Protein backbone atom coordinates (compact mmCIF):
# COMPACT_ATOMS: atom_id res chain seq x y z
CA UNK A 1 0.00 0.00 0.00
CA UNK A 2 1.58 3.30 -0.93
CA UNK A 3 1.65 6.44 1.14
CA UNK A 4 -1.06 8.13 -0.86
CA UNK A 5 -3.45 5.24 -0.37
CA UNK A 6 -2.77 5.34 3.34
CA UNK A 7 -3.47 9.02 3.40
CA UNK A 8 -6.62 8.43 1.42
CA UNK A 9 -7.76 5.90 3.97
CA UNK A 10 -6.91 8.27 6.78
CA UNK A 11 -9.18 10.82 5.18
CA UNK A 12 -12.07 8.42 5.41
CA UNK A 13 -11.72 8.32 9.15
CA UNK A 14 -14.14 10.66 10.82
CA UNK A 15 -12.56 14.05 11.10
CA UNK A 16 -12.86 15.79 14.39
CA UNK A 17 -16.01 17.77 13.87
CA UNK A 18 -15.81 20.67 16.23
CA UNK A 19 -17.40 24.03 16.62
CA UNK A 20 -15.21 26.89 15.52
CA UNK A 21 -12.29 28.13 17.54
CA UNK A 22 -10.40 31.29 16.76
CA UNK A 23 -6.73 31.34 15.85
CA UNK A 24 -4.10 33.73 14.61
CA UNK A 25 -1.69 33.06 11.74
CA UNK A 26 1.89 32.85 13.03
CA UNK A 27 3.32 33.24 9.53
CA UNK A 28 2.41 33.70 5.88
CA UNK A 29 1.29 30.33 4.59
CA UNK A 30 -0.83 28.56 2.01
CA UNK A 31 -4.10 26.73 2.41
CA UNK A 32 -4.29 23.22 0.95
CA UNK A 33 -7.33 21.36 -0.25
CA UNK A 34 -6.32 18.26 1.75
CA UNK A 35 -4.24 17.78 4.91
CA UNK A 36 -0.94 16.93 3.24
CA UNK A 37 1.98 18.87 1.85
CA UNK A 38 1.51 18.36 -1.88
CA UNK A 39 -2.25 18.80 -1.95
CA UNK A 40 -3.76 21.40 -4.24
CA UNK A 41 -3.37 25.02 -3.15
CA UNK A 42 -6.55 26.58 -1.94
CA UNK A 43 -5.54 30.14 -1.13
CA UNK A 44 -3.21 31.79 1.33
CA UNK A 45 -3.12 33.95 4.42
CA UNK A 46 -0.72 36.36 6.02
CA UNK A 47 0.89 36.56 9.43
CA UNK A 48 -1.39 38.02 12.06
CA UNK A 49 -4.56 37.19 10.14
CA UNK A 50 -7.46 35.90 12.22
CA UNK A 51 -8.59 32.42 11.29
CA UNK A 52 -11.43 30.21 12.28
CA UNK A 53 -10.31 26.69 13.17
CA UNK A 54 -12.93 24.16 12.18
CA UNK A 55 -11.10 20.86 12.40
CA UNK A 56 -7.91 18.98 13.11
CA UNK A 57 -6.32 15.93 11.61
CA UNK A 58 -2.87 14.79 12.63
CA UNK A 59 -0.51 17.71 12.24
CA UNK A 60 -3.00 19.72 10.19
CA UNK A 61 -5.72 22.19 11.04
CA UNK A 62 -8.70 22.99 8.87
CA UNK A 63 -9.18 26.72 8.87
CA UNK A 64 -11.42 29.33 7.38
CA UNK A 65 -10.12 32.72 6.34
CA UNK A 66 -12.31 35.55 5.17
CA UNK A 67 -11.72 34.37 1.60
CA UNK A 68 -11.41 30.62 1.64
CA UNK A 69 -11.18 27.36 3.50
CA UNK A 70 -8.43 24.76 3.63
CA UNK A 71 -5.82 22.84 5.55
CA UNK A 72 -2.67 24.23 7.09
CA UNK A 73 0.14 22.85 9.27
CA UNK A 74 -0.83 23.29 12.90
CA UNK A 75 2.36 25.15 13.72
CA UNK A 76 1.35 27.96 11.37
CA UNK A 77 -1.49 28.87 13.67
CA UNK A 78 -1.63 30.03 17.24
CA UNK A 79 -4.82 28.94 18.87
CA UNK A 80 -6.91 31.30 20.93
CA UNK A 81 -7.67 34.93 20.42
CA UNK A 82 -4.71 36.83 21.80
CA UNK A 83 -1.74 36.35 24.08
CA UNK A 84 -3.03 38.96 26.46
CA UNK A 85 -6.48 37.83 27.21
CA UNK A 86 -8.35 34.69 26.66
CA UNK A 87 -8.40 31.92 29.15
CA UNK A 88 -11.08 30.12 27.17
CA UNK A 89 -10.15 26.49 26.75
CA UNK A 90 -11.47 26.32 23.21
CA UNK A 91 -13.09 23.62 21.20
CA UNK A 92 -9.92 21.73 20.40
CA UNK A 93 -9.34 21.29 24.08
CA UNK A 94 -12.86 20.06 24.49
CA UNK A 95 -12.29 17.66 21.63
CA UNK A 96 -9.07 16.37 23.12
CA UNK A 97 -10.52 15.98 26.57
CA UNK A 98 -8.65 18.81 28.15
CA UNK A 99 -11.80 20.67 29.13
CA UNK A 100 -12.26 20.70 32.83
CA UNK A 101 -8.58 20.75 33.64
CA UNK A 102 -7.85 23.81 31.55
CA UNK A 103 -8.71 26.19 34.29
CA UNK A 104 -6.66 25.21 37.26
CA UNK A 105 -8.42 26.02 40.46
CA UNK A 106 -5.92 25.96 43.23
CA UNK A 107 -7.04 24.13 46.28
CA UNK A 108 -4.75 23.92 49.26
CA UNK A 109 -1.17 24.94 49.75
CA UNK A 110 -0.81 27.47 47.00
CA UNK A 111 2.86 27.93 46.45
CA UNK A 112 4.48 30.37 44.17
CA UNK A 113 7.85 30.09 42.58
CA UNK A 114 8.68 33.70 42.03
CA UNK A 115 12.19 34.94 41.40
CA UNK A 116 12.29 36.18 45.01
CA UNK A 117 11.15 32.86 46.41
CA UNK A 118 13.77 31.01 44.39
CA UNK A 119 16.53 33.24 45.68
CA UNK A 120 15.32 33.00 49.27
CA UNK A 121 14.97 29.21 49.23
CA UNK A 122 17.37 27.03 51.13
CA UNK A 123 18.61 23.54 50.37
CA UNK A 124 16.25 20.73 51.36
CA UNK A 125 18.32 17.57 51.82
CA UNK A 126 15.38 15.29 52.65
CA UNK A 127 13.57 16.23 49.46
CA UNK A 128 16.70 15.65 47.38
CA UNK A 129 16.94 12.15 48.84
CA UNK A 130 13.29 11.52 48.11
CA UNK A 131 13.72 12.77 44.55
CA UNK A 132 16.68 10.46 44.01
CA UNK A 133 14.77 7.51 45.45
CA UNK A 134 12.46 7.58 42.41
CA UNK A 135 15.30 7.27 39.91
CA UNK A 136 14.72 4.80 37.10
CA UNK A 137 17.47 2.98 35.21
CA UNK A 138 17.80 2.83 31.46
CA UNK A 139 16.70 -0.82 31.52
CA UNK A 140 13.60 -0.03 33.57
CA UNK A 141 12.76 2.78 31.15
CA UNK A 142 13.10 0.36 28.24
CA UNK A 143 10.59 -1.98 29.88
CA UNK A 144 8.25 0.94 30.41
CA UNK A 145 8.57 1.86 26.73
CA UNK A 146 7.83 -1.68 25.63
CA UNK A 147 4.71 -1.80 27.79
CA UNK A 148 3.44 1.30 25.99
CA UNK A 149 4.47 -0.12 22.59
CA UNK A 150 6.87 2.76 22.18
CA UNK A 151 9.81 2.02 19.96
CA UNK A 152 12.80 4.25 19.55
CA UNK A 153 13.38 5.46 16.02
CA UNK A 154 16.23 7.14 14.23
CA UNK A 155 15.67 10.86 13.94
CA UNK A 156 18.55 13.15 13.25
CA UNK A 157 17.40 16.30 14.96
CA UNK A 158 16.06 19.70 13.96
CA UNK A 159 18.26 22.51 12.74
CA UNK A 160 17.37 26.11 13.48
CA UNK A 161 15.65 27.51 10.43
CA UNK A 162 17.90 29.78 8.39
CA UNK A 163 15.37 32.61 8.44
CA UNK A 164 15.49 32.68 12.19
CA UNK A 165 19.25 33.08 12.38
Question: Does the footprint of other proteins cover residue 2 (CB under 8 A)?
Answer: no
Strand partners, 26: none
Instruction: Mark residue 99 as left, alpha or beta (left: phi above 0; alpha: psi -120 to 50; beta: remaining).
Output: beta
Interacting span for other proteins (CB under 8 A) from 12-20, 63-71, 146-154: 146-154
Alpha helices in the chain (DSSP H): 3-12, 90-95, 115-120, 125-133, 138-147
Q: Give, as ranges, the residues between 75 and 94 that touch other proteins (CB under 8 A).
A: 75-76, 78-80, 83-90, 93
Q: Give, as ranges, the residues between 53 and 72 that touch other proteins (CB under 8 A).
A: 58-59
Contact track, other proteins, 12-51, x by CB under 8 A? --------------xx--------xx--------------
Question: Does the footprint of other proteins cover residue 142 (CB under 8 A)?
Answer: yes
Nearest distance from residue 58's CB to other proteins, in Å? Answer: 8
State the DSSP code for 162: G
Strands 50-57 and 41-45, bridge-based pairing: unpaired
Amino acid sequence: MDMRTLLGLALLLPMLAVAAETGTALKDDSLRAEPYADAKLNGKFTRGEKLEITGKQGAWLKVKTTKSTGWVRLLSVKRGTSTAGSSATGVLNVASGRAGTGQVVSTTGVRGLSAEELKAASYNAAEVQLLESYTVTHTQAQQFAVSGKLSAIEFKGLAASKEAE
